[in-house]
Amino acid sequence: MHQLHKARSLAAVGAIVVLVGACGSGTATTAPAASQAPTAAATQAASAGATAAPSTAATGPFTIGYSNGAGVGNGFREEQVCTAKAEVAALGPSKISNITVIHRNTDAAGQLSDLRSLISKNVNAIVFNPNDPDALNPALAEAHKAGIVTVSVDAYVTDPNTWNLYNNQVKYAYLGAKWLFQQLGGTGTVWYTRGLAGNPADSDRDTGFNQALKEFPGIKVINPGGTFTGWDPATATQITNDFISSGGYDKIQGIWASGMGAQIVDAIKAANKKFVPIADADIGAFVKQLLDQTNYPGLIGAAVTNTASVGGAGVNMAYKLLTGQTIQPSAGAGRPNTVLLDPQILDNTTAQGKADLQKWISVPGLDPLWPLSLSIPGWTDYDPNTVPATCKGA
């Protein structure tokens, strides 16, 4: 059980940024359907069942520490941190008085140090996107001993006292890969691009990709094991240019991307190559490419939801745990204390698919590198339409 404690005043030091009401005020509204992540399983988990919670509920206000140890500049990671700030603002200062964010590119050892820094600040809860499923466990054990609630988002950790809340990355990869292999009629060669080596989300995606691959023995992978982009746009562009220059692109019939589809598509266009079917995430720039047959003639693709709103949802989960609310783990998650978000897939091969993709592009001012699902029913309280403006420059 977590023993709650009062928060101390925090100061901004080095890479640590202290934000009080960071993104302005927010209100709980019914968001446009296009901006909500379709997460029925997670919504059910938010409202049902009983699990371990602090034995004595407290009312706050609480302080939150937030650690993101990779992908600075990546649209998913930037949106993730922004939604965490937006959720703090929506909950209000009577519930969350401030959030301390450490947002930098580092390795697992560096993130372990970041978590310990947040522990030393005596925060009530730590929400983090883990660089490794196991390496952070010593710091998480220290946090638990200090009575600090810990929530891992976007990927899982193996610490038994930490809650995990993330997109079902195995299913995410499986949906996109299966769609791609079906588009090729079950035969052909594909280029397999990945994310950050060693990251648990990337490892889960590799599992899902290979599950689909086993179902289609006629599909071959030109680069077995995949090529890592580090989820970095510049790197994705460079490896695509190199792949095209090597002649490899002329030997494939499809591409499975890992959030870098927009960069890959633009590199193919710049090389005046014919497009092949591609599966990627619901990144704004990629979805717009799928809908723009004038500038991207013949482009066929599918987008799978991978909501970056796990940042805000993680803050919401931490608050629920701090106040003694019950949370039901997802059935079949395969790990304790885990809530899985259910990804969905849309493609541009039908009129209905195009119409549904168009609905996703509904929030004005959204950064083109951000995923389009800006909220999670049952797990976020802010109005998704306010996120770009309230978090700009925060």
- Helices 75-91 and 310-322 sit at what angle, rounded to 10 degrees? 40
- The reply to whether 16-37+51-167+308-341+374-391 and 169-304 are identical in fold is yes
DSSP conformational letter for 64: E
**How buried is 83 (Cβ within 10 angstroms: 0-12 exposed, 13-18 middle, 19+ buried)?**
buried
Which 3-state string (H, E, C) describes 285-326? HHHHHHCCCCCCCCCCEEEECCCCCHHHHHHHHHHHHHCCCC
Cα separation of 69 and 48, whole Å? 32
Amino acid at 383: D
Query: Whose CA is closest to 283, among 195, 379, 192, 189?
Result: 195
Residue 60's pLDDT is: 83
Which residues on adjacent β-strands are paired with residue 65? 100, 126
Query: Whose CA is closest to 265, among 155, 354, 348, 174?
Result: 348
Residue 38's pLDDT is: 43
Query: Whose CA is closest to 367, among 343, 340, 394?
Result: 394
Cα separation of 248 and 222, whole Å? 8
Cα separation of 343 and 239, whole Å? 27
Please state which of the four CATH numbers 1.20.1250.20, 3.40.50.2000, 3.40.50.2300, 3.40.50.10800 is assigned to the domain occupying 16-37+51-167+308-341+374-391.
3.40.50.2300
CB burial readout 246-269, b (16+ within 10 A) else e: eebbeebbbbbbbbbbbbbbbbbe
Look at strands 227-228 and 16-19 and give their pairing: unpaired
SS3 label, residue 62: strand
Q: What is the pLDDT of residues 123-156, one digit of tens each?
A: 999 999 999 999 999 999 999 999 999 999 999 9
Cα separation of 192 and 176, whole Å? 12
Query: What are the residue ranges in the chain where pLDDT is below 70?
Result: 1-57, 393-394
Please tell me the class of the 169-304 domain. Answer: alpha beta
Residue 53's pLDDT is: 41
Q: What is the pLDDT of residues 38-53, one digit of tens each?
A: 443 444 444 333 344 4
pTM for the whole structure? 0.79
Cβ-proximal residues to 182 (8 Å cutoff; 6+ apart), any chain? none
Q: Would you state the structure tokens that stand for residue 261, as one six-digit string?
A: 């589809």
Residue 393's pLDDT is: 55
Domain ranges, ordered by start, for the chain: 16-37+51-167+308-341+374-391, 169-304
Residue 5's pLDDT is: 42
Residue 26's pLDDT is: 32
Query: Whose CA is closest to 113, among 63, 67, 162?
Result: 67
Average pLDDT of the chain is 87
Cβ-proximal residues to 210 (8 Å cutoff; 6+ apart), any chain? none
How many CA atoms lie within 13 Å of 353's alpha carbon, on the beta-carbon side? 15
Query: Whose CA is closest to 227, among 218, 239, 238?
Result: 239
Q: Would you state the structure tokens that stand for residue 325, as one six-digit string?
A: 């609310």
